[in-house]
């Protein structure tokens, strides 16, 4: 079969820096991702897409807050599921339109994806991920008492709700995703890291948490045995000494070198760290190549002509 590429689309794919994030802007920005997918399809690849959803979930929570007197509140897990559908549609629409123009007839499908997490994950004891709008102290304390929220002071002022960010354990819809890939479909799955779920047989409530999108993407890429795991971000290459005069862009690096630089603090937790960790998680399968780049160089990076390639230690460096 043709090579399978899993592309983890960054949060800047639909909402760029400085934009308001309107629906029209997101439709326009989706064209770049659609063009990259079409180029990959033309080159004979099969494609699975994952995506972030942070701004869209924030907008849904804000709408829910403002409409609370007139409509039911949306819990976080429903917002994650809702934005999977919303973003999936935007990307599907852009790809369908571009395929029509290119004469391609390849089905594109978005799958609402649940991801199993461990109820014993330490993240549930120490929520850290800020979500939703900024509140005054008075409102934040009222919601804390009313909804049993964890509240933290926001660095930019005010207070926000924080939720756990557990590690993904398994993709619930993996077999459905595999079936679509085997049929030759372009699949959009694992949006926003997936909807977190416990296997506790309690159907009365969901899990209000946020899973790192790149970590879920790594597990999915590994379980699908993808030939390439591509992470799209806002820089064209991974760098050592980032933001310093000694900055060194990396074209290719081994997994063991990544682990060493990670331990040395070269890849901070709030920046490149999760992407490097996700790439290493994918490479645990013992095969494949991970690439990290921006959306403008995505196709060239997957073809080995741009971006940063992370390879297994036994693979010779050029």
Examine the pLDDT at 315 and tell me if it is beyond 60: no
Q: What angle do CA 260, 263, 266 make, to 5 degrees?
A: 85
Examine the pLDDT at 229 and tell me if it is beyond 90: yes
What value does the mean pLDDT take over residues 232-261? Answer: 92
Q: Where are the alpha helices (DSSP H) in the chain?
A: 23-42, 54-66, 76-102, 137-147, 174-182, 213-223, 255-263, 273-283, 298-302
Residue 2: its pLDDT value, please?
A: 66
What value does the mean pLDDT take over residues 10-39? Answer: 90
Out of 129, 192, 194, 206, the active site residue is 129
Residue 251: its pLDDT value, please?
A: 95
Q: Please indicate whether residue 12 is annotated as part of the active site.
A: yes
Is 289 within the bounds of a domain? Answer: no
Beta carbons of 262 and 277 less than 8 angstroms apart: yes
Query: Cα(255)–Cα(181) distance, rounded to whole angstroms?
Result: 28
Q: Which two tokens stand for residue 42?
A: 């033309």
Q: Please indicate whether residue 11 is annotated as part of the active site.
A: yes
Residues 5, 63, single domain; the answer is yes
Length of the chain: 318
Residue 234: its pLDDT value, please?
A: 86
Confidence band, pLDDT 50/70/90 cuts, at residue 156: confident
What value does the mean pLDDT take over residues 57-72? Answer: 93
What value does the mean pLDDT take over residues 45-70? Answer: 94
**How much of the chain exceeds pLDDT 90, in percent?**
82
| Mean pLDDT of the residues in the chain | 93
Please give the residue that has the higher pLDDT: either 166 or 287: 166
Beta carbons of 243 and 304 less than 8 angstroms apart: no
What value does the mean pLDDT take over residues 138-145? Answer: 94
- Domain of 212: which CATH number? 3.40.1160.10
Residue 200: its pLDDT value, please?
A: 87
Residues 206, 243, single domain; the answer is no
Residue 149: its pLDDT value, please?
A: 95
Residues 219, 309, single domain; the answer is no
How many domains does the structure of the chain reveal?
2
Choosing from 205, 226, 247, the residue where a domain stops is: 226
Q: Please indicate whether residue 178 is annotated as part of the active site.
A: no
Confidence band, pLDDT 50/70/90 cuts, at residue 243: confident
Residue given tokens 């063991």 in the structure block: 256
Is 133 within the bounds of a domain? Answer: no
Q: Please indicate whether residue 213 is annotated as part of the active site.
A: yes
Residue 143: its pLDDT value, please?
A: 93
Is 293 within the bounds of a domain? Answer: no
What value does the mean pLDDT take over residues 100-127? Answer: 96
Examine the pLDDT at 205 and tell me if it is beyond 90: no
Dump pLDDT digits (tens) for 207-221.
999 999 999 999 999
Is 143 within the bounds of a domain? Answer: no
What value does the mean pLDDT take over residues 33-40? Answer: 94
Q: Which two tokens stand for residue 19?
A: 């934009």
Residue 287: its pLDDT value, please?
A: 86
Out of 10, 53, 190, 275, the active site residue is 275
Out of 29, 58, 213, 288, the active site residue is 213
What value does the mean pLDDT take over residues 183-193? Answer: 97
Is 192 within the bounds of a domain? Answer: yes
Residues 222, 239, single domain; the answer is no
Q: Which two tokens stand for residue 22?
A: 């309107």
Is 152 within the bounds of a domain? Answer: no
Residue 307: its pLDDT value, please?
A: 95
Exposure string over 250-265, b if 16+ CB within 10 A, otherwise e: bebbbbebbeebbeee
Residue given tokens 């939720």 in the structure block: 163
Q: Which domain holds residue 251?
A: 235-281+298-318
Out of 3, 12, 178, 304, the active site residue is 12
What value does the mean pLDDT take over residues 214-231? Answer: 96
């Amino acid at each position: 079969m043709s090579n399978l590429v899993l592309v983890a689309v960054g949060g800047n794919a639909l909402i760029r820096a400085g934009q308001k994030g309107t629906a029209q802007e997101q439709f326009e920005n989706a064209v770049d991702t659609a063009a990259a997918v079409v180029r990959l399809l033309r080159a004979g690849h099969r494609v699975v897409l994952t995506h972030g959803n942070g701004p869209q979930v924030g907008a849904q929570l804000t709408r829910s807050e403002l409409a609370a007197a007139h409509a039911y509140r949306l819990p976080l897990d429903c917002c994650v599921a809702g934005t999977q559908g919303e973003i999936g549609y935007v990307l599907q629409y852009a790809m369908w339109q571009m395929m029509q123009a290119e004469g391609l007839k390849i089905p594109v499908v978005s799958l609402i994806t649940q991801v199993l997490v461990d109820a014993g994950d330490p993240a549930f004891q120490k929520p850290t991920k800020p979500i939703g709008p900024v509140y005054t102290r008075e409102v934040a304390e009222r919601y804390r008492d009313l909804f049993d929220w964890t509240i933290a002071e926001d660095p930019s002022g005010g207070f926000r709700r924080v939720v756990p960010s557990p590690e993904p354990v398994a993709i619930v819809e993996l077999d459905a995703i595999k079936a679509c890939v085997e049929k030759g479909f372009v699949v959009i799955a694992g949006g926003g890291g997936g909807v977190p779920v416990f296997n506790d047989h309690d159907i009365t409530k969901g899990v209000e948490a946020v899973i790192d999108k790149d970590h879920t993407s790594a597990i999915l890429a590994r379980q699908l045995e993808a030939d390439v795991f591509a992470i799209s971000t806002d820089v064209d290459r991974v760098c050592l000494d980032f933001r310093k005069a000694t900055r060194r862009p990396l074209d290719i690096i081994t997994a063991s070198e990544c682990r060493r630089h990670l331990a040395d603090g070269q890849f901070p937790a709030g920046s490149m760290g999760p992407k490097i960790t996700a790439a290493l998680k994918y490479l645990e399968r013992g095969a494949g190549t991970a690439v990290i780049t921006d959306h403008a160089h995505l196709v060239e990076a997957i073809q080995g002509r741009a971006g940063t390639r992370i390879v297994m230690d036994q693979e010779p460096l050029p």
